[in-house]
């Protein structure tokens, strides 16, 4: 804990930059079971409710630390239909303040909430705190196998303890505006466009073509921030070795900044950051052709900003391959006072068909429950806004099978802070080379890490 507190100040600087992410019938058992292998997801929530009818009804309180009151309220309403005598308290904090609040409570011995939301992009820092209940142990016996294989590393701490139940599932691709693609690339066909941009070098050629043919008024991407998380997720080599306390960053930074400098040099990007007013406007003002796209992007970004352009968008695989964008999990705090109620909440809301259909259905997110969409083929549907494409089914079948998620580390926040800083330098300085950027990043990261961490 002492080491984590030492780097927490540097990490908290990053959190204000992070965007929110929204966001089978195999299941975790209820608290009376001893293993998870033969229990279905739908059994989990319903069986727990039926068991309570044979004895004392679950009651008492449950506190949840979150940055999304509306989302958490949807869960609470679904939960209280089954457990009406459990009072759910929603404790609000800004996204960037969840980590700092947990650090403060752990340091002072304050009263912990029962559950806390944890973003994927900051997962490693949260899991490095010694505050989580190990859900793989009795009485929970949740080994994580009910969730998608690609998420297994992301729900565990460095010691292999299962600390998080993933809330949503975010295989991601690339959104494009069909009319602009037709104008500048000669086609709006999904397969033809994917064939044009199999990797980032090919994308640079396409971006240069768009810029030239538009007379410099249209870019392939709004800015480098559009692909920062994307290419980070496409980097599948492990960055941190916990046993030797070594970060392998020269190769990582070279990979990241090589792509960024090429995109800049080929006039593929503007200077607009995600979630800014100009970025929101880019969906409809005709200045950008491509954007990142996760399952939550439709309701959070695209549709609110381009309502009048229904039918003019489609989603394809991204250059460079599959990637994972965003994501949120919920963890149980070891110091919480209402563990039984907390486990009932996780079972019902995240690990049962009923909870998924009532909650995630309203949020328009995907569940990470393994095989859920195989067993529920009607759970996704075609959408006229996306020219009749079933976008979520495309992401599940064409992107998710190729996707992997790196194991999180306690130093991800510092790495992302430095990457974002140097990304800004690349975007603003046309003379900064990839080698210059790597050198700057290595200098910066050395200032943020504990002295016992080796950087190569």
Compute the mean pLDDT over every residue in the chain, rounded to the nearest whole number. 89
pLDDT, position 54: 55
User: Residues 132-155: pLDDT tens digits?
Assistant: 999 999 999 999 999 999 999 999
> pTM for this structure?
0.87
| CATH architecture of residue range(s) 175-322+408-455 | 3-Layer(aba) Sandwich (3.40)
pLDDT, position 5: 38
Classify residue 454 as left (phi > 0), alpha (psi -120 to 50) or beta.
Answer: beta
Q: Where do the CATH 3.40.190.10 domains begin and end in the chain?
A: 2-170+326-379, 175-322+408-455
Please state the rounded mean pLDDT for residues 292-297.
Answer: 96
Pick the CATH number of 2-170+326-379 from 3.40.190.10, 3.10.150.10, 3.90.1170.10, 3.40.630.10: 3.40.190.10
Token look-up 């929110």 returns 20
The candidate with the shortest Cα–Cα distance to 341, out of 55, 61, 42, is 61
Q: pLDDT band for position 359 (50/70/90)? A: confident
User: Residues 18-70: pLDDT tens digits?
Assistant: 444 444 333 333 332 323 333 334 334 444 444 444 568 999 999 999 999 99
pLDDT, position 209: 98
Q: pLDDT band for position 355 (50/70/90)? A: confident
Whole-angstrom distance, CA of residue 427 vs CA of residue 333: 41
Q: Report which of residues 43 and 76 the model is more confident about.
A: 76
Burial grade of 424 (CB within 10 A; 0-12, 13-18, 19 or more): middle
Res. 379: pLDDT tops 80:
yes
Whole-angstrom distance, CA of residue 330 vs CA of residue 166: 6
3 state SS of 83: coil
Please state the rounded mean pLDDT for residues 222-234.
Answer: 97
Res. 179: pLDDT tops 60:
yes
pLDDT, position 361: 73
Whole-angstrom distance, CA of residue 284 vs CA of residue 227: 19
User: Residues 192-214: pLDDT tens digits?
Assistant: 999 999 999 999 999 999 999 99
Q: Do 203 and 197 meet the contact criterion of CB atoms below 8 Å apart?
A: yes
User: Residues 297-345: pLDDT tens digits?
Assistant: 999 999 999 999 999 999 999 999 999 999 999 999 999 999 999 999 9
Res. 290: pLDDT tops 70:
yes
Whole-angstrom distance, CA of residue 83 vs CA of residue 28: 18
């Amino acid at each position: 804990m002492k080491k984590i507190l030492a780097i927490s100040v540097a990490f908290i600087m990053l959190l204000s930059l992070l965007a929110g992410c929204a966001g089978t019938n195999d299941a975790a058992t209820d608290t009376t079971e001893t293993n998870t292998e033969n229990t279905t997801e739908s059994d989990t929530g319903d069986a727990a409710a039926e068991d309570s009818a044979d004895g004392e009804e679950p009651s008492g309180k449950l506190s949840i630390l979150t940055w999304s009151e509306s989302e958490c309220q949807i869960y609470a309403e679904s939960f209280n239909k089954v457990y009406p005598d459990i009072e759910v308290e929603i404790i609000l904090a800004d996204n960037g303040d969840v980590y700092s609040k947990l650090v403060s409570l752990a340091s002072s011995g304050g009263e912990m909430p029962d559950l806390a939301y944890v973003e994927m992009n900051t997962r490693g820092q949260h899991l490095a705190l010694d505050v989580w209940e190990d859900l793989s142990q009795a009485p929970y016996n949740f080994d994580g196998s009910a969730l998608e294989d690609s998420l297994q590393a992301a729900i565990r701490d460095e010691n292999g303890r299962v600390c998080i139940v993933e809330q949503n599932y975010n295989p991601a691709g690339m959104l494009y505006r069909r009319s602009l693609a037709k104008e500048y690339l000669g086609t709006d066909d999904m397969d033809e466009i994917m064939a044009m941009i199999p990797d980032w070098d090919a994308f640079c050629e396409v971006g240069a073509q768009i810029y030239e043919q538009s007379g410099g008024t249209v870019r392939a991407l709004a800015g480098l921030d559009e692909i920062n998380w994307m290419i980070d997720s496409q980097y599948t080599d492990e960055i941190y070795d916990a046993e030797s306390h070594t970060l392998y960053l020269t190769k990582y930074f070279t990979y990241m900044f090589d792509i960024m400098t090429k995109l800049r040099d080929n006039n593929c990007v503007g200077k607009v950051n995600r979630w800014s007013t100009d970025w929101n406007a880019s969906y409809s003002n005709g200045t950008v052709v491509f954007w990142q796209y996760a399952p939550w992007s439709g309701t959070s970004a695209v549709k609110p900003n381009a309502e009048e352009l229904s039918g003019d968008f489609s989603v394809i695989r991204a250059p460079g391959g599959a990637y994972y964008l965003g994501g949120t999990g919920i963890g149980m705090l070891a110091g919480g006072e209402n563990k039984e109620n907390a486990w009932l909440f996780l079972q019902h809301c995240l690990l049962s068909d009923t909870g998924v259909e009532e909650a995630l259905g309203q949020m328009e997110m995907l569940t990470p429950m393994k095989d859920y969409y195989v067993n529920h083929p009607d759970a996704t549907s075609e959408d006229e806004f996306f020219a009749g494409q079933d976008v979520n089914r495309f992401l599940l079948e064409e992107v998710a099978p190729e996707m992997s998620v790196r194991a999180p580390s306690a130093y991800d926040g510092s790495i992302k802070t430095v990457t974002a800083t140097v990304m800004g330098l690349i975007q603003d300085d046309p003379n900064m080379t990839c080698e210059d950027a790597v050198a700057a990043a290595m200098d910066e990261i050395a200032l943020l890490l504990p002295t016992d961490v080796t950087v190569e």
